[in-house]
Amino acid sequence: MLKQTIAVTLLNLRSIPQRWGMSLATVLSIALVVGVLLGFMAMASGFRATVDGAGADDVAVMLRGGAMAEMNSVVERNDVRLLEVAPGIAADESGEPIISAELFVVVDGIKRTSQTRANLALRGVGLSGPELRPQFSLVEGRMFEPGTAELVVGESVLREFDGFALGETIRLGSNEWTVVGVFSTGGSVFDSEIWADLGVIQNLYDRGSSVQTVRARLTSVEALEALQEYVENEPRLNLEVLSERAYFARSAGGTTNLIMFLGWPLAFAMAIGALAGAWNAMYASVDARTRELATLRAIGFGGFPAFVAAMAEALVLAFAGGLIGAVATFLLFDGVSASTLGSGFTQVVFAFAVTPDAVISGVILALIVGFLGGFVPALRAARIPLLAVHSD
Amino acid sequence: MTDASGLYELKNLSKRYTRGKETVAIFDGLDMTISQGDFIAIMGPSGSGKTTLLNLLGGIDRPSSGEVLFEGQRIDNLGQGKLAKWRAKNAGFIFQFYNLMPTLSAAQNVELPLLLTNLSGKARKDRVKTALDIVGMVDRAGHRPAQLSGGQQQRVAIARAIVADPKVLLADEPTGDLDRTTADEILQTLQLLNKELGKTIIMVTHDPAAASYAARELHLNKGRFEEKGKA
Ligand SMILES: Nc1ncnc2c1ncn2[C@@H]1O[C@H](COP(=O)(O)OP(=O)(O)O)[C@@H](O)[C@H]1O
Ligand SMILES: [Mg+2]
């Protein structure tokens, strides 16, 4: 049985080029499905990686209780004072707590590729701001001078948007700024931001002395609990304290899920289309081989090898499609940077990441499409009437 | 009762088709005996049921009623799997349009029936070579059907039909698609298989010249046989 199954399967596979049009269409439609799925997965995992990369366990983020996102949070000057003396917060050489009160506003930038406007986060930070991003480094230029209209821009901003080259003057809203430095935080969300002095932003944007978030370096990962306890037991503070990692995971979750919830149904709908295509192609394949299959049966071959052979053809076409889809997605998208709305409705620039897991999912999806599309035609192959030996 | 030399015995064989409301009887109560070593030409007008009869003899179709006995055993009521085994062991088919696998070489085509046996790869190769030798196609063993003429393809098909050493060869218009000279060569080959190797051959043809190569001619007409003695 094995010998005849292998023989019929080889026979079948070798005849694929005779139906190259249909076969190619099947392969490409499956490749497209896998490409779409992997594209979305790459987007989701790239976004997650970017956001995860930004989160440290030994940095605490404090927002107004129930604010969920930075954008909706208000932290008053007095709150910041109380936090400066909180336990668990690390101090620098001169004994000052490493704490940064921050505020961001949304400004317009012009995207290089599309020449359209997109939102950017302009963040006001204190001098400890960089210290709270472990990967922070100045790539070019210098840090802004406190009290001046100078700004430093993240690498992604420089890459994706017009007008942020070092030394340039740029108008954001009604204010003129000078770009004095370019920084990198190692690919995290902050690379998509513009930083300036907190006091200057509070002034220009009429925020008085309030900020949105307070970031603090913890003495250790465990110190978070002490800080949380302090904030909870201090009646004047209504703040939520969480690790930066937890904070980013929470804000990324929504976007990642959105990408995936969009991606799977779309890939699924397209998979049904590809399934119909595969079904059709396999029917055509069986039809084209009717006389051959009947002849084999007349010689004494069983129906089962014909079934296996047709399934093998369907799965080979599907596998090829899956592989092409995966490789094409990898070549086209892996590492390509994209931007999407971050949790504050600002652009987060991230790189697509085509992960091995996603490739496996894609190939499995392709094989499922091949299996379902090939099954009924394969049954038909097994049931070709013997009298078809005389057909032409 | 089967006599010793009776390879086939057809008993009260009927085959009917229903077309719409109408039932058409191709044969009705056909009886016949075919002896071991016979070379029979079945002739008759188009639509007289020659192919149908061959299908019944070859176990690729079943009668509406009656019995087909082969070496005294009924084959008309064998299950699908048993019938397939019976065909693999006993019957070699030769078709008008050769029915070779286009993607396989001549040798690979000829090898197909041997894949159903327990022969080793080496034994299969030897058998294939012998079969191709008998039909004079050894030097074309590596050619694919598209690279062969019609006559050459039919030779390969004959090699495929004999390679597993079946008792009977069933040929449906084997020269129907060939010119006279090529047809004569094919018919000489069949005659040789009958005379030298003792193969029983049942050949359907509407060509009297082709039929003349057979030892016995049967004319099928309106579901009955008329035997014509040979000069
Ligand atoms: N599967 C079938 N269904 C209905 N009628 C058939 C079928 N096969 C053959 N016939 C009819 O049976 C008759 C005999 O056919 P066939 O054996 O092919 O004749 P021949 O080979 O002598 O030309 C024809 O009239 C043909 O139309
Ligand atoms: Mg016929």
Neighbouring-strand partners of residue A340:
A348
Shared domain check, A78 and A222 = yes
- The Cα A66–Cα A62 span in angstroms is 11
Higher pLDDT, A330 or A253: A330
Give the per-residue pLDDT at A297: 94
B27 strand-pairing partners:
B15
**Of A13, A299, A383, which to mutate for an interface test with B (greatest number of B Cβ within 10 Å)?**
A299
Please write the tens of the pLDDT for every residue from A90-130: 988 888 899 999 998 989 888 888 888 888 889 999 888 88
Q: Which atom of ligand 1 is nearest to the CA of B46?
A: 23
Measured distance CA(A30)–CA(A319) in Å, rounded: 9
How close A356 comes to chain B (CA, Å)? 37
Instruction: Give the integer Cα–Cα distance in Å for A323 and A27.
Output: 9
Strands (E), chain B: 6-19, 22-35, 39-43, 65-70, 73-74, 91-94, 168-172, 200-204, 216-221, 224-228
What's the rounded mean pLDDT across residues A84-89?
90
**Number of Cβ pairs < 8 A linking chain A and chain B:** 63
B115 CA → ligand 1 middle, Å:
32
Question: How many domains in chain A?
Answer: 2
Task: List the single residue in B with minimal CA-CA distance to A289.
Answer: B101
Do A139 and A164 share a domain, yes or no?
Answer: yes
**Res B3 pLDDT > 70:** no
List the single residue in B with minimal CA-CA distance to A387.
B60
Q: Note the pLDDT of residue A349.
A: 63
Q: From the list A3, A291, A387, which residue is nearest B115 (CB)?
A: A3
Residue-wise pLDDT for B73-131, tens only, equals 999 999 999 999 999 999 999 999 999 999 899 999 999 999 999 999 999 999 999 99
Which of B101, B124, B160 would you mutate first to test chain A, the one with the most A CBs within 10 A? B101
Domain boundary among A190, A206, A237: A237
Question: Does any domain span residue A243?
Answer: no
Check whether residue A220 and residue A257 sit in a common domain: no
Say if residue A93 is in the same domain as residue A224. yes
- pLDDT confidence of A347, banded at 50, 70, 90? low
Strand partners, B19: B22
In angstroms, what CA-CA distances link A121 with A196, A203, A344? 11, 17, 8
Residue A239 is which amino acid? L
- Going from the Cα of B133 to the center of ligand 2, the distance in angstroms, rounded, reads 29
- Cβ contact A297–B88 (<8 Å): no
Selected residue with higher pLDDT from A380 and A20: A380
pLDDT at site B112 = 94
- Mean pLDDT, residues B223-230: 69
Structural domain of A386 = 2-52+252-390
Which among A7, A292, A389 is the nearest to B60, CB-wise? A389
Q: A73 lies in a domain?
A: yes
Domain match, A150 and A24 both: no
pLDDT in tens, B82-94: 999 999 999 999 9
Is B51's C-beta closer than 6 angstroms to any atom of ligand 1? yes
- Same domain for A290 and A339? yes
A62 sits in which H/E element? strand A59-64
Tell me which of A213, A237, A261 is where a domain ends.
A237
Name the percent of chain B lying above pLDDT 70: 96
B86 to chain A: nearest residue by CA? A300
Which atom of ligand 1 lies nearest, measured to the CA of B45?
Answer: 22
Using only the alpha carbons of chain B, give its radius of gyration.
18
A196-207 mean pLDDT: 92
pLDDT for residue B2 is more than 50: no
Average pLDDT, chain B: 92
CA of B46 to the centre of ligand 2 (A): 7
Do residue A24 and residue A166 come from a single domain? Answer: no
| Residue A61 belongs to a domain | no
The structure tokens listed for A20 are 């190259």
Give, as one character, the DSSP assignment of residue A132.
Answer: G
Encode pLDDT of A323-343 as tens digits. 999 999 888 877 676 665 554
Verify whether the Cβ–Cβ distance B113 to A299 is below 8 Å. Answer: yes
- Strand pairing of B65-70 and B73-74? antiparallel
Decide if B99 and A4 are in contact by the 8 Å CB cutoff.
Answer: no
Reported as half-sphere exposure (CB side, CA atoms, 13 A), residue A110 has a value of 9
**What is the model's pLDDT at position A213?**
92
pLDDT (0 to 100) of residue A340: 59
Assigned token pair, A22:
């249909």
Of A347, A358, A351, the C-alpha closest to A52 is A351
Split at pLDDT 50, 70, 90, the class of A174 is confident
Domain assignment present for residue A242? The answer is no
A57 in a structural domain: no
* Distance from C-alpha of B110 to C-alpha of B127, rounded to nearest angstrom: 9
Element (H, E) at A181: strand A175-184
Same domain, A353 and A330: yes
Please determine, for residue A259, whether its predicted confidence score (pLDDT) is greater than 50: yes
The stretch B34-44 carries a mean pLDDT of: 94
**Least Cα separation, residue B55 to chain A (angstroms):** 8
A47 min Cα distance to partner chain B (Å): 50
Residue B226: how many other CB atoms lie within 10 Å = 12
Instruction: Reply yes or no on whether the pLDDT at B61 is more than 50.
Output: yes
In chain B, which residues have their Cβ closer than 8 Å to the Cβ of A295? 93, 95, 99, 101
A83 shares its domain with A189: yes
Same domain, residue pair A179 and A291: no
Mean pLDDT computed over A189-193: 85
A298, B81: Cβ pair inside 8 Å? no
Identity at B138, one-letter amino acid code? V
pLDDT at res. B152 = 96
Angle at B70 between CA B82 and CA A389, to 5 degrees: 60
Q: Which residues contact A18 (CB under 8 A, 6 or more apart)?
A: A288, B102, B103
Smallest Cβ–Cβ distance between B87 and the set A3, A298, A392 belongs to A298
Residue A36: the pLDDT is 84
A13 in a structural domain = yes
Does B166 sit in the ligand 1 pocket, CB within 6 Å? no
Query: Which of the listed residues A237, A267, A295 is the one where a domain comes to its end?
Result: A237
Do A192 and A299 reside in the same domain of the chain?
Answer: no
Q: Give residue A345's pLDDT band: very low, low, confident or very high (50, 70, 90).
A: very low
Cβ of B64 closer than 6 Å to ligand 1, yes or no, is: no
Are A38 and A77 part of one and the same domain?
Answer: no
Taking residues B41-51, what's their average pLDDT?
91
Q: For chain B, what percent of residues have pLDDT higher than 90?
A: 82
Model ipTM over 0.90 = yes
Per the listing, tokens 């080979």 go with: A316
Mean pLDDT along residues A220-226: 91
- Taking the CA of residue B101 and the nearest CA in chain A, the distance in Å comes to 6
